[in-house]
Amino acid sequence: MAFFDYIELKYNKLQNQTYEYLRSVYSRSSESFSNASPFGQVINYLNNIFQFNVLYQKRVVNNFIITEADNTKAIRNLARIGGHNPTRAISANGTIKLKTKPSIDIFSDVYGGKIKIKDKTKLKNKTNGLIYTIRLGSSEENFQIGQSFDIFLNVIQGIYETQNYTGNGEINQSFSVNIPMSNSVDNFEVEVKYNDQPISIKDSMLDMLPNEYSCFVRTGMNGGIDVYFGNGDFGFIPQPGVNLSITYLLTDGTNGMILTPQINDFQVLDDIVDMKGDKVNIEATFDIVIDKQITFASNGETSDFTKSLMPYISRNFVLATPSQYIYTLRRLSMFSKINVYNTLNDNNYENDNIVYLFLVPNISNYYTGDVNYFNVPMDAFYLDDEEKEKTLTYLRKMGNIPTGVVLEIIQPTISKYIINIYIRKYAGYSDDSIKEYIITNISTYLSELERDDRIVKSDIIKTVESIEGVDSVSLSFISKKNEDYHKLNPTSSTIYGLDPILGDIVVNNDELAIIRGGWTDRNGTYYNETTDGGGLCPINIMFVGETEKNINNQ
């Protein structure tokens, strides 16, 4: 008789097969293997260990399939094998201005009338407590000070660190920069030096010329980064004993954005000196103001986000088709909506070199306190000129844009809608509490909505129905452009912006549908722009009755 006729993961069958085998071999009765006997307890323990082992192996096998994987390390491994380098966090950056205070006597208070600032001088923001770093483009720079002109300094959020390694003379050397899991290395701010000389960082090994002093960088499996060198045919081979230094920026991602700048909100942590080398009291000498907003940051990819990006992977680092731009822009994790298109499908060859980028910022970055989707400032839905330029700069860093291709970032055409919700609730639940949950849940749904063709009515109904205390829901949208049209054409049956059968909001290519008031419908009813005021507003919740809760309708 075989030890097992078959392997079972069900505990009772596995245990029974074990007992049957032992009774047959040792001519023992069933009582000898009961849970009360030491022998039976040992068997019970061993069977459980076997089960756990098999289930663990099953989980390991599942993590080899990226759609099933739930382990961050496994997902990053599979993404790297599939040609995708997970995007790390991106630091907020901008410009500060040092404006000489009127009370300062320049030449008596600051020797030589100049200050010397070193690259990577650190600042601390007093409001958020985070560290920011001045980037000059050179090791240090002298600045003339005076009442008639200001000093402009580029800053980036985060702290620079350096780790040193030693070459061993082997081909394809690689070094892992390990950092605490709570930190993140900026996606772009990495510098590699060979014997104190900076070397270029390429997209891949195939981009490195024979014996070229270069390397390429990948996101590490356990956080941090991995740096790879060449084999002589592609890139150079670091010689034994040489020093390899890797400098990187540890960033706090979106936490580093300063959305409500204040004057004199920075403290200088490193010394800034005059021409004699004496320390200058910067906060007493200058007013420090933000000149260009310190924004446009990202927390990098989550595991779920990495899995969702895999179908869009471009392995050639060339940005040519709309899908390749979508892949690259989604990697930045900075936009709530992305649509990229050209006019080739419309047989419009006059502008066939123009790629249109329809981008909406991640508006949830602006949520603070009582600010949500329904009252966030309208500016949050648009990219300003600085953000447009930063987007184009990032695209040039992330891939090769073919010669002759023109990138045009288009501002969305805003279409405004109102939501009217009718609720029948269960008895015993507060109207105000249900309203608060509805506004919060729909705000989250609309903020995270990735669809760019419509807002589905049934999806929002499901969102509301999931709230405790809600019995049944009816919902309708009111379209501003439809109401404007019917003011002029009261007898027309045409409907603008809404699906005439399903009631969904229908959205065009260059359009952004938002739930926002500030307008009047065909009947003269006015809807307040946000939910902050009284009266009718972007989301109106009406209670139309209640149901006694019993065992049949719980």
- pLDDT, tens only, 2-55: 444 444 456 567 667 777 777 777 666 555 666 667 767 777 777 777 767 766
Query: Chain-wide mean pLDDT for the chain?
Result: 86
For residue 343, what is the DSSP state?
S
Q: Is the dihedral of CA 437, 439, 445, 447 positive or negative?
A: negative
Please give the Cα distance from 122 to 133 (Å, whole number). 5
Q: What is the pLDDT of residues 76-124, one digit of tens each?
A: 766 666 667 888 899 999 999 999 998 888 878 888 889 999 999 999 9
Please give the Cα distance from 352 to 368 (Å, whole number). 42
The single-letter code of the amino acid at 28 is R
Q: What is the pLDDT of residues 399-440, one digit of tens each?
A: 667 777 888 998 889 999 999 999 999 999 999 999 999 999
Q: What are phi and psi of 487, to 5 degrees?
A: -65, -35
Among the residue ranges 245-259, 312-326, 450-464, 469-483, the one predicted with the least confidence is: 312-326
Alpha helices in 36-141 (DSSP H): 38-62, 72-81, 106-109
Cross-strand pairs, 292: 95
CA 187, distance to chain mean position in Å, is: 12
Domain assignments of the chain as residue spans, ordered by start:
11-62, 93-158+254-295, 159-251, 314-410, 414-547
**In terms of C-beta density within 10 A (0-12 exposed, 13-18 middle, 19 or more buried), how is residue 553 classed?**
exposed
DSSP-derived pairing of the beta strands 286-295 and 539-547? unpaired
CATH of domain 93-158+254-295: 2.40.30
Please give the Cα distance from 518 to 532 (Å, whole number). 12
Tokens (6 digits) for 147: 């009442």
How far apart, in Å, are the Cα atoms of 142 and each of 115, 139, 150, 154, 392?
6, 11, 13, 15, 31
pTM recorded for the entire structure: 0.71
DSSP H or E stretch at residue 307:
helix 303-309
| CB 529, CB 516: distance < 8 Å | yes
Edge-to-edge, what's the strand order for the sheet holding 114-118?
140-144, 114-118, 273-274
Q: What is the pLDDT of residues 442-490, one digit of tens each?
A: 999 999 888 889 999 999 999 999 999 999 999 999 999 999 999 999 9
Please give the Cα distance from 140 to 118 (Å, whole number). 4
Share of the chain above pLDDT 70, in %: 84
**In terms of C-beta density within 10 A (0-12 exposed, 13-18 middle, 19 or more buried), how is residue 153 classed?**
buried
Share of the chain above pLDDT 90, in %: 54
Please give the Cα distance from 400 to 397 (Å, whole number). 8
| CB 242, CB 195: distance < 8 Å | yes
